[in-house]
Structure 1
Amino acid sequence: MQEHDMSWVRTEMVLAQPAPASVTGLGAWVRKNLIASTGDTILTIVGIALVAMILPQIINWAFINAVWTGPDRTVCATVAQGGIQPDGWTGACWAFVNAKFGQFMLGRYPIEERWRPILVAILFVALLVPMLMPKVPRKGLNAVLLFFVLPIVAFVLLVGGMFGLPHVETSLWGGLLVTLSLSFVGIAVSLPLGIVLALGRRSKMPIIKTLCVVFIETVRGIPLITVLFFASVMLPLFLPEGVSFDKFLRALIGVSLFAAAYMAEVVRGGLQAIPKGQYEGADSLGLGYWQKMYFIVMPQALKLVIPGIVNTFIGMFKDTSLVIIISMFDLLGIVKQNFSDANWATAQTARSGLIFAAFVFWLFCFGMSRYSMYTERRLDTGHKR
């Protein structure tokens, strides 16, 4: 029997080869994103030219020619042709931000008691960071501590009046403390309340559905300023004599209800995007209504509307600046309030303060946006095999 030549048959698996150099590395990224076509190339050139023209001026103003420390506005006077120009654009007056930093963060909170909001901030970060990390265990315990225990501890520490802590009125709160407090409570309340309202609006019970529709459409039909004004000024008129609520608490309620109405519509959009077969499959398994929603429908719906949910959170974070209408001062409000300080009252310090506030708002909003994108990628399992 003739033997066949098997020398051409491979006896070992071929090792994985690296991708071609033309599709990897910086050069490939540039070709794909910056010069893929004639239009892309033109836009890239125009963009580089604009950056080259603007960026050096920004660096000079914000860093090189900036004034970082000083007792008053005189340190920010800039020497240029023609003499002293206190309101010139030569450099930023970060000395103003440095001198007022404590107020920007905590408002008029008593200096000797500022360790209390600082401790609350440390606890908040210590609980939030592991909550945002997917691989950290004991998420249930972490959530209970963050959303239930921390608010109680924060209330005791910030307000005081118990356990030997001096009472600090909320009218003394301000700055980033107010911004983060309103945002955290608004986020923690609006999402679950929005889910309940969305389910109520899709309910087959006429009374429940009507109540939810009326609430959602009424709140969405009026601006947040009106809600805050009503909660702060009008609400006390409807309360029994001798009954009153703290102004900050009224603002918390107003912001939370306003955000919940918008959140309800976002969640309802996710519920409507779930195929009917998912509901029927859950029914075929004998699951009850709440089991079906908790285990089958709601996880899929919330995953679909992550961008909308985070967009609502970001909008609510920025809208906290509107509490100035009820004489409360968030970060932006406390920055603008300090413009009236005679020691720092110049246009240059005003510009520096506003840019600082804008940067802080951008930092938090950008962080939320990037984390939502990461969460979307992590949960995008629809096309995995």
Structure 2
Amino acid sequence: MSMLVTQQPYLRQTQVDPEPPPALVSGPIAWVRAHLLSSPLNIAMTVITLYLAYLVFVPLIKFALIDAVWTGQDREACLAGPGGGEVGACWAYVRARFSYFVYGSYPWEQRWRVDVFFVLTAIGVVWMLWLDAPRRSLGAIYFFIIYPIVSFILLSGWSAIGLTIVDTSLWGGILVTLIVSIVGIVFSLPFGVVLALGRRSALPAIRLASVIFIEVIRGVPLITVLFMANTMLPLFLPGNMTPDRLLRPLVGVAIFAAAYMAEVVRGGLQAIPKGQYEGAMSLGLGYWTMMRLVVLPQALRIVIPGIVNVFIALFKDTTLVSIVGIFDLLRTIEATLTDPTWSTPTTRFSGYAFAAVFYFIFCFGMSRYSLAIERRFARGHKR
């Protein structure tokens, strides 16, 4: 006897996905209510903030976009019209001088070398910052050894291989800004590691020397270090040797950044558990082998966000080299302001706005990278 099974019309045959929570519980509306409108005080602060943002950003948008002049051949395009209408940023001036902002006075026919330098820089930066990049050990060798040598030969020139010698007095603009930043990064990291290890050394002389160097350099502003490097460096060389005018601030920037980098690395070394040291020594590893294979890789991985923060500060501080006569981006912009072809009331503000956008893009990108690294490591610790 077979049993007859009938399907009940009120029973669901397939599983239904859960509905999303109401907008008042989760989503943008809930976030606004919880963070901006949760109390009378928060409502008042939100209104005041929106009003201040209106006072700041509306004129800024009008100046940079709505009333801006985008095309033109000379200052006439960026002057107020016969009716006295407002004129915003003179982007036509920035377009006309953009090549000078990037290359400075680098010879026109040799600027392909600067373009190759930019490509080599991008390769090295991506290779080092991409944590999942293949063969990152080779990337470190490229960035800290091969890249500086090749870039120096490429930009300075070498008659033996047919590259025309280009004096550093012709370098300027974004080229110099990136060179100062990269030199500070390339040399400050290994030098900072050595100083951090020296500060934790068991030898009193090495520890004292490292402490004195770090505290003295960190105790003075960068502009003082630049002036000292510009005036004192020639005194430490033989009388027949004169250091290059660009080399002097490069040494000052590298020394200054190394002192701050040493403290960041020292924090990473202190965060390594004592068991890591004991385990490495139990395997018979020597001091340098232990540091190279066990301790330093973990310490540097921990302090990557701190290292990136030092790089951000260093990148912004490169504008100070203009005080000692180096034509970085800010100095090249100031040099073009004396050109009567583009002399208008808004030219100066337009040039500085271009510099602000340039620094913001680089610094914001580095800060977002640092934040992404922190979140990635936080997820790793939660696991």
Same fold, TM-score > 0.5, yes or no: yes
Residue 325 (structure 1) aligns with = 323
How many angstroms apart in 1 are the aligned matches of 2:114 and 2:363? 22
**SS of the residue aligned with 1:114?**
helix
Q: Could you say which residue in structure 2 is the equivalent of 1:110?
A: 107
- Equivalent positions of 1:252-271 (< 5 A) are 252-271=250-269
Distance 2:40 2:193 in 1: 48
Q: Shift of the alpha carbon at 1:157?
A: 1.8
Contact 2:78–2:87 (8 Å) recurs in 1: no
Partner of 1:208: 206
**Of residues 331, 334, 337 in structure 2, which corresponds to 1:336?**
334
Q: Once the 2 structures are TM-superposed, how far is the Cα of residue 182 of structure 1 from its aligned partner?
A: 0.9
Residue 139 of structure 2 corresponds to 142
Q: Distance in 2 between matches of 1:273 and 1:41?
A: 42
1:164-190 C-alpha deviation (Å, 9 max, x unpaired): 121110011011100101111111111
Which of 67, 71, 74 does residue 72 from structure 1 map onto? 74
Equivalent residue number for residue 242 of structure 1: 240
1:381/1:281 CA distance change after superposition, 3 Å: farther
Counterpart residue type for residue 153 of structure 1: V
Figure out how many residues of one structure are paired with residues of the other and give that number: 369
Query: Aligned partner of 1:196: which letter?
Result: V
| Residue 4 (structure 1) aligns with | none
Structure 2 unaligned blocks of 5 or more: 1-14
| RMSD between superposed Cα atoms in Å | 2.7
After superposition, what is the alpha-carbon deviation per residue over 1:32-72, rounded to whole angstroms, capped at 9, x for unaligned?
44334443333223323333444333222211211112222
- C-alpha deviation, 1:112, in angstroms: 1.7
Q: Tell me the distance in 2 between the aligned counterparts of 1:381 and 1:292.
A: 27
Match of 1:306 in 2: 304
Distance in 1 (CA, whole Å) between partners of 2:146 and 2:305 is 28
Q: Which moved more, 1:16-25 or 1:351-360?
A: 16-25
CA distance in 1, matches of 2:264, 2:154: 35
Amino acid at match of 1:20: P
2: distance between equivalents of 1:280 and 1:339? Answer: 62
User: Is this contact kept in 1: 2:281–2:290, CA < 8 A?
Assistant: yes
Q: Distance in 2 between matches of 1:259 and 1:287?
A: 31
Aligned CA distance change for structure 1 residues 132 and 24 (closer, same or farther; 3 Å) = farther
TM-score by length of 2: 0.87
**Equivalence for 2:367:** 369
2:65 and 2:89 in contact (8 A); partners too: yes
Deviates more, 1:341-350 or 1:281-290: 281-290
Deviates more, 1:48-57 or 1:119-128: 48-57
Looking at structure 2, the residues matched to 36 and 293 of structure 1 have their Cα atoms a distance apart, in angstroms, of 52
Letter in 1 for 2:43: T
CA separation in 2, counterparts of 1:286 and 1:36? 61
CA distance 1:288–1:237, shift in 2 (3 Å):
closer
Instruction: Describe the superposition over 1:357-384 as per-residue Cα deviations: whole angstroms up to 9, x where unpaired.
Output: 1111111111111101111122235632
Instruction: Calculate percent identity across the aligned residue pairs.
Output: 53
Give the Cα separation in 1 of the matches to 2:289 and 2:237: 39
Q: Distance in 1 between matches of 2:262 and 2:302?
A: 14
Q: CA deviation at 1:336?
A: 1.2
Q: Show the counterpart of 1:119.
A: 116
Cα shift readout 1:99-119 (whole Å, capped 9, x = no counterpart): 111111111111121111012
* Contact 1:78–1:90 under 8 Å retained in 2: yes
Indicate which of 32, 39, 42 corresponds to 2:41.
Answer: 39
Taking the aligned partners of 1:54 and 1:218, their CA distance within structure 2 comes to: 41
> Is this contact kept in 2: 1:104–1:334, CA < 8 A?
yes
Query: Structure 1, residues 196-251: CA drift from partner, whole Å, max 9, x if none?
Result: 10110111101111221121122222222222222222221331122232221222
Contact 1:283 1:292 in 2 (8 A): yes
Question: Contact 1:78–1:91 at 8 Å: present in 2 too?
Answer: no
> Please, what TM-score do these two structures have when normalized by structure 1?
0.86
